[in-house]
Structure 1
Amino acid sequence: MMRKISFRTFGSRIFIIFLFSFIGISIILSFIYYQVTSKQLEDTISDAAMKNVKQASEHIDLLLQGYESLSKSIITNTDIQNLVGKHSNNSAVKAINDRTITNAIGAIYYAWEDVISIHVLSNDGAAYSYGALTQVVNPNYMTLDWYKQLQHSEGETVWFGMETDSLIDTSRKGEVFAFGRKLYNLTRTESVGVVIIEMRTNILQNILQNANITEYTETYLVEQGIIKGGRNSQLFQQVAVGLESATSVGKMKRVDDHFIVRYPQNINDWELVSLTESSIIKIEIVQFRQYFMIITLSLVILSMIFAILISVHVTSPFKKLRIYMRKVTLGNFEEIPIMNSYVELESLTGAYNQMVRKLDELFVQMREMTESERIAQIHALQSQINPHFLYNTLDMIYWTLDEGENEKLGEIVLALSSMFRYSSNWENHADVTLREELEQIKAYALITQMRFGEKLVFDWKIDPDVLDVCIPKMSLQPIVENAVIHGVGEGGGEIKIAAYLLDSVVHISITDHGKGMDQATLERLNALFTQAEVKIDSSENSLKVGIGLVNVHKRIVYRYGMKYGLSITSSGLNSGSIVIFTLPYQSTQHTMMRLE
């Protein structure tokens, strides 16, 4: 069964963050690369177009300079200058003059391979032509626009450009490149006619074709928006609208769906215009887009793999930490080995190990405290059913009966009953108020005083402010009993019990003026207390040190901390002893709330 994917896990979120980050970066970089590539492609086309157009323009200038030289060779020919427009009534002379003009034109014609025809037209209507064998000169040529342009010129070359058919020869069908000049008689300094020359267009077409940078490019010779050279004039007319204002000469600019380059011709007022369809960039971009999609898809796959690896690498230490944490819930307080991965995780692992150690210590302390409570109960019961204690108490009751002191007997029985009832009731908590504990001590003191009589004296100095302080049950009686038995002994003496508050710490002191103890014994007892803060051997016979003083100390330390507990002082043998019991100042209500 497939495991359900949770997007709330740390690993899933890292994976998603890295994945979307990588994809976002890839998209942004791809978009930037797309824009840069498009601009570079456009710049490349612009540079190529400008270079080709400039070279084509230079070649056309050279070609037109040659054509201009051709026209000059005609208008400067002496025979043509002198004989055209010269009238003679002698038919023979006239025939010789015509033949001379025709021969002069023929000589020039054969000197140029790409000349289709040369026509010299006099102002009086005479026409001298050389070219195809079947030429039919349009009789109405004087009414045509090209003729009028030549007549209005000042002797410079007039360029008509590429025409679909001959301007003057009605029998000539096909493209021609036409130009002409006005013819002068330099002797008479007057115009005698015009010269019209028609050339083949293959050379010019080749130049224009070579200017095309792609199959989607068309190049034209243009004069004021009118095509003078080039094909597909319909395309040019679609794009040429607003050509003058849309582009600058010598620069490429995009107009509608075409890139346009304009370059001026030096020999005349024409311009070389190159039109490149913008689809060429689209084609390149489509090819690039396919390549880009493959790269992007590869980057996405690599991003996913990389995100998975990062997610696994980052979350692996946390998974180990989670495994150890689950062990804690099962009671296995095993520390995590320090993982050399991340500073934060090492800090977290250290804190976790510290917590585990603390929990382990607390559990040990709880077990020991529970054991201490059990020992305290046993000792409390033992102290009440101790044969010696019972024998002395019963013996005292016997002598009291013998003396007829029934009132004192009742007090002894009530005190003994109170002690048994107090020491056997452990149902609610092991904590009582100091007031309740002192009532138990006073019952014990009453019984012991009845036994020892005036030899044993108890002195009570209790601050009323500390009577409601909560203390461990049966914690004072072992100390007082130890003072009676091992302190004053059978010889009797004074026992002072004081309770007071000092710096928010409750001090309870039990002082006896009995045997005291030497320095070695004092150090041994205090050493046992110090060891009890860490660990105490449960096999230690606490009766030897006064019915469980060490156990009392352990109970205080476990409940309130190492700042509190028991301490013993003595000035030496026969100087008495002082046992000081310290615990924090807490009211009964506050303590009970803490226990609950």
Structure 2
Amino acid sequence: MRNWLGRLNTLRNQIFIGFMLVMVIVLASAGLFTYDQVSVLLRNNAEKHIQQTAVQASGKLDELLRQIETFTAQVATNATIQRLMTKELSGKRISFEERQLMQQEVRKQEAYSTGIRSIELYTNDYRMLFPLTDVGLLDRVSPDWIGRANRAKGQLVWYGIDPSYPNVLVAMRQVRLIDQSFTASGYLMVQVDRKYFELTDTDAEFSGTDDMREAMGLIDDKGQVITSDFTSDVDVESILLQNQSSVEMKGNSYIAVQKRSELTGWRILILTPTEYATEGISVLRTAVIVSGAVGGLLFLVLTFILSIMITRPILRLIRAMRGARFGTLKPIPVTSSTMEINELNNTYNQMVVSLNEMIEVVYQKEIIQSKAELKALQAQINPHFLFNTLEAFYWALEDKDEEELAQLVVAMSGLFRYVISRPDEDEWVTLGDELDHAERYLKLMVMRMMDRLSWSIEVDESYRRVPIPKLLIQPLVENAILHGVEQRLGPGEVTLRVGASTREGFTRVEVIDNGPGMDVDKIHSLYAAMEQGRNQTSTKGSGVGIANVQQRLRLNYESATEGLEIRSEVGQGTTMAFEIPDDIWALK
């Protein structure tokens, strides 16, 4: 029984069962959540669409009303109309020719407007001035309408459908004289075609079928339908009285939206079938079910394939790792209950033991080899012969009073004594020793280059006691002279600067020249050469090179330093710098 359970407890079976359970939970949750959210979204979108249609229709209606308002205002304030109405108000009757002139002015304004059936102009005593008939204002409208126009004080008043002409809407305003402190001088009545207020372009009838989308109507403040695309069986009055967002007609449910015009009090009524607003929900339900079924089948197949794809490489890796015995890794705890993972962990830990042993051996060999290369460089010159020869030169120059040359020989002797150390000497020196060695080298280079080279060393005495590996600074100075000063047409300068770093507990060393500098590509190439351990900056020099400096910085300081930093621009010189900790022994 235990063996049978152990065979089932494999990584492939666990992946397959686990993924299937997750798939069922995820698909079910996602399907229910999607259906719920999208259903709400569809309903909200339908309602927003209807509300937006109502807002657009209301805006269109207000714009049409403003056009009539503007037109009548232009007629009422026309200079000729104002002059002739002033004459009438003063008690002087205008002549027939003046009435014709008034008619011409009105026609000019009417030519730029649409939907206007007629314009009528009356005096304060209700006599008609235009058109040229003898009909009075009281013959056209009731005293109540005139009273509303008086109370509006020059504003346009809409009365709705004209009882005498069912296809016409009537509006009226007082004509006020601008030059007479806006004194009322008469009345302006305009008749507008009902078709002017059609708010939709559709010709579809309100039949309640699936083809129906929206039906819209415009109703005045008395409940009369001004214009609509409703059919005759729609009880508009009942819908307005109910004032509900949902109405039932002939067994069908409709969403009713009303929008009231602030200018006239007219209302826009929009009816939309409820099933049209929610027609996408049934499609969504079918889509969710089909997607869940197809997704479940695909996930079942893909999970099985994925489980095989994961476990097969692991088994191959186990067989390969059993024969591997190199690398730098740490052991990992064996805590998994899966058979394959346990075997993989055991094999990995066995390999780690061997890898760590081999890495330690290789690391020690690298250190020994680096030291051997430095020793070989230092031993290229026979110390005994060299020192004896330099000493003979010194005494010979002293006898001939060549004090300057004698000091140069002393500097050269000190330079070689510093470079060529005995096997029992420590490779670590102080920063002061390194700076003294660099100073001796610069003095010798001044002898060779004469006035083409000037130099300076800037250092505070407190930094001279910082420990540093031997021969880290002089190769950078040599590089600055060879590739900086010597490449200039005129005199050059090398500055050796030692100071505090931005990092606490570190010292910064900079070697600066005013040579021709380098472009970005050259700097990148130089970094790449240093990382590979190659010194490609020149075929000149001692061969130590900045690549050797970079390697020794990394070897001696490890992660405590970032290695050499190179800053340069073409024509602006070059700066090579590095930062070292003040107390290397505290880091070890």
Same-fold status (TM-score > 0.5): no
- Normalised by the length of structure 1, the TM-score is 0.36
Structure exhibiting the larger radius of gyration computed from Cα positions:
1
